[in-house]
Amino acid sequence: MDTTETSYRSSVAQTKRTAILNAAQTLFLKSGYSATGMTEIAALADVSTATMYKYFRSKDILFSEIIERATKGLDMDLGEMTIDDDLVEAAYMTANRLLKFYIESDLPQLMRVVIAEAFTAPKLARDTFNDFTRKWYDPSKEIMDKLVVAGIAKPHDTDLSARFLIGMIKEAFVWPSLFGVDADISRQTRRRKLREIVEVFINYYDTDAFRKRYHDKGWLTPLPQTHND
């Protein structure tokens, strides 16, 4: 088999695979996970059922691949940060990047599907949660570990601080957008709320030297230091 034929077959296979993923996502969003059958997906993708099972052995695997595709751009390159980066920039960069990706992706619609199927398809819910945990929390924890080592953030449980930061983002933006409640995610609102989130976060995890430097600049509004009581 020559290179040209190999390339052609690879292209055809990728086209079919993408068609199946697109068809499955369309049907999952329209009818839900449980109500969508593999035969329906194959018909919409214009492939045979046998061909579809050649690429995806089960509906679980197919949905997991859709989630993986939707969250592909969520991985953060920690090489973008240096130890000279400060806690405000790191927290804001992390929060803004996660939120921007969430807003511009298909994640809100897919999350609605997962939530609706949590009881009927618990494995689907668990796998999706674990995937989100890996892609949302792990990079944030790595960034906080890096800042602690550099002396920019005080020593603390970085797994907890990552969940604290992202938890505030979820409460302010993700959950309202999922349920259509007060879902104002305009650029101006996003910047204002993210600034407030970062201020709260900084007042828990900064060092004294960092606090003085940024309060002197007027960037942060001092908050009650109840965490030091």
CATH number for the domain spanning 165: value is 1.10.357.10
The pLDDT of residue 169: 85
218/128 Cα distance (integer angstroms): 41
pTM: 0.72
Which one of 22, 52, 67 terminates a domain?
Answer: 67
Instruction: Give pLDDT < 70 ranges for the chain.
Output: 1-6, 8, 73-87, 182-185, 208-229
Structural domain boundaries, residue 8:
3-67
From 50, 67, 84, give the residue that closes a domain.
Answer: 67
206 phi and psi angles, rounded to 5 deg: -80, 170
Kindly provide the b/e burial profile for residues 177-213, where b requires at least 16 CB atoms within 10 angstroms of the residue's own CB. Answer: bbeeeeeebeeeebeebbeebbbebbbbbbbeebbee
Are 63 and 83 within one domain? Answer: no
Same domain membership, residue 132 and residue 214: yes
Q: How far is CA 74 from CA 40, 97, 131, 211, in A?
A: 30, 8, 11, 30
| 75 lies in the same domain as 61 | no
- 203 and 95 within one domain: yes
pLDDT of residue 226: 37
Q: Do 96 and 61 have their domain in common?
A: no
Quick one: pLDDT at residue 117?
87
Same domain as 20, residue 76: no
State residue 182's pLDDT score: 62
The tally of domains found in the chain comes to 2
* pLDDT reported for residue 211: 63
Q: Are 44 and 62 in contact (CB under 8 A)?
A: no
Q: Within this chain, do residues 31 and 90 fall inside the same structural domain, yes or no?
A: no
Residues 8, 49 within the same domain: yes
Query: Which of 16, 42, 67 is at the close of a domain?
Result: 67
